[in-house]
Amino acid sequence: MAGNVIGYFCVSNSWGGLEMNQLRNAVWMKNRGHKVLIVGLKDSRIIKEAESEGIDTAFATQHKKYYDFKKAINLKKLINYKGITHLILRDPKDISLGVTTKRLLKNKLFLAYFMEMQLGVKKTDLLHTWRFKGLDLWSCPLQFLANQVNELTNFPSSKTKVIPSAMDLSKFENLPSQSVAREKLELPNDQILLGLIGRFDAFKGHKLLLDAYEMLPSELQNKISLAFLGEKTNPDTDNFYEYLMERIQLDTFKSKVYILPFRKDVETFYAAIDVFVMASKAETFGMVTIESMAAGTPVIGSNAGGTPELLGSGERGILFETMNKESLAKAIKFFVDEYKNDPNDLKSYVKKYSHHEVCQLVERHLKLTD
């Protein structure tokens, strides 16, 4: 550990999962005694959040996706000045810059890429192979992504590791009872509640869930309500939020759909609902799936992306055919009529995603431990 400095590189003005994951991991590693540094755009959200967390920061500027030698020279100078020994990238657009910088440093840098998104196409050509060769570690949050790396690139399998996305499980301890959580959120106690978390846009599955609800027999509709937790997309270019508000005023959904503003204590929402619905087309990982299980709340999930692996191909939840309203309606009916859930089994499974466990894996694969 002595002498190592971990640099988290993120030249983004956004504040989404990628940026949050960089910051969370930096905070956790700092708390474990490591020297860490966030490298980002001056005045960006991640820099401001890092400073509020007491994380050291340094500034870089945006760069071209490929062959930006000028920015690589600047990054080399920064790495030497700050004594960075390990550099962690999460955006694939940063790989070329990171590899070029490492070669300018005569390979005296441990360069790791933590994968956030699926690979779309084969990348076995000479240029990609040469570029990826500069990585010391390709970290994948799930095995299916590691399989993609092995199948679609020439990157060595010996350097491809599965390191799950992590979460702080402590906030899921001592959850309120379902009735208390519902009272806090002003949700009905006499209904089966299906919950969905996500910004209100066309990609998160709100419409699909409404479509599936409409297909349920009336006696089942009478038993079920829907709870949506999230925020309006800014800007709402496709007017999806307005569409959603208009649709839930239809007779089918009146007094059956509850819209809740996003809140930091999302664990209260998971405690309040009976089942969480992961209805988006394909989530690479889907942290909300893990959060739901951490609360002991079962999941109905789309059979695509990382969700099938997280749900053990249906052993830890219910899978439905992606973007298929009939299949989702059938899954909902199965949940209400037949599904048996042991909350303790779900809570036990997600212990592998504890940030304590995951940070140990990071330390091992970054070769920070003896």
Decide: 10 and 24 in contact? Cβ < 8 Å: no
- φ, ψ of residue 338 to 5 degrees: the values are -135, -25
User: Mean pLDDT over residues 5-27, rounded?
Assistant: 94
User: Mean pLDDT over residues 33-57, rounded?
Assistant: 97
pTM exceeds 0.85: yes
Same fold: 5-166+354-365 with 169-351? yes
User: Mean pLDDT over residues 219-237, rounded?
Assistant: 89
**Residue 3: band (very low, low, confident or very high) from pLDDT cuts 50, 70, 90:** confident
Decide: 310 and 283 in contact? Cβ < 8 Å: no
Per the listing, tokens 């860490």 go with 36
pLDDT given at position 2: 61
How much helix, strand and coil, in percent to the nearest 5, is found in the chain?
A: 45, 20, 40
169-351: CATH number: 3.40.50.2000
Per the listing, tokens 């009916």 go with 333
Number of H helices, E strands in the chain: 16, 13
Q: Using CA atoms, how far apart are residues 160 and 143, in angstroms rounded to an integer?
A: 10
How many C-beta neighbours within 10 Å does residue 109 have? 23
Decide: 163 and 244 in contact? Cβ < 8 Å: no
Tokens linked to 110: 């441990």
Tokens linked to 235: 């800007």
Task: For residue 73, give the 3-state DSSP assignment.
Answer: helix
Q: What is the helix (H) or strand (E) element at residue 30, kind and residue range? A: helix 17-31
327 vs 79, 180, 293, 294, 306, CA distance in Å? 52, 32, 22, 26, 19
**Residue 314: band (very low, low, confident or very high) from pLDDT cuts 50, 70, 90:** very high
DSSP letters along 114-161, please?
Answer: E--S---S-B-SHHHHHHHTT-SEEEESSHHHHHHHHHHB---GGGEE
Q: What is the helix (H) or strand (E) element at residue 273, kind and residue range? A: none
Per the listing, tokens 């499974």 go with 349
- Judge if the upstream peptide bond of residue 235 is cis by omega within 30 degrees of 0: yes
Distance in angstroms between the alpha carbons of the first and the last residue of the chain: 9
- 59 bridge partner residues: 40
> CA gyration radius for the chain?
22
Q: What is the DSSP letter of 177?
A: P
User: Mean pLDDT over residues 272-300, rounded?
Assistant: 94
From the centroid of its chain, how far is CA 147? 19
Residue 44 has pLDDT above 80, yes or no: yes
- 36 bridge partner residues: 6
The residues spanned by each domain of the chain are 5-166+354-365, 169-351
Domain 5-166+354-365: homologous superfamily in CATH? Glycogen Phosphorylase B; (3.40.50.2000)
**Those residues with Cβ within 8 angstroms of residue 65's Cβ, 6 or more apart along the chain or in another chain:** 93, 96
Q: Using CA atoms, how far apart are residues 196 and 280, in angstroms rounded to an integer?
A: 10
**Residue 95: band (very low, low, confident or very high) from pLDDT cuts 50, 70, 90:** very high
**Residue 120: band (very low, low, confident or very high) from pLDDT cuts 50, 70, 90:** confident
Burial status of residue 4 (CB atoms within 10 A of its CB: 0-12, 13-18, 19 or more) = middle
Residue 233 has pLDDT above 80, yes or no: no
194 residue type, one letter = L
pLDDT tens-digit map of 56-79: 999 999 999 999 999 999 999 999
User: Mean pLDDT over residues 343-369, rounded?
Assistant: 95
pLDDT given at position 268: 97
Of the candidates 97, 89, 37, 38, the residue with the CA atom closest to the CA atom of residue 63: 97
Of the candidates 165, 109, 184, 365, the residue with the CA atom closest to the CA atom of residue 284: 165
Tokens linked to 118: 């699926």
pLDDT given at position 237: 66
Q: What is the DSSP letter of 353?
A: G
Decide: 114 and 74 in contact? Cβ < 8 Å: no
Task: For residue 233, give the 3-state DSSP assignment.
Answer: coil
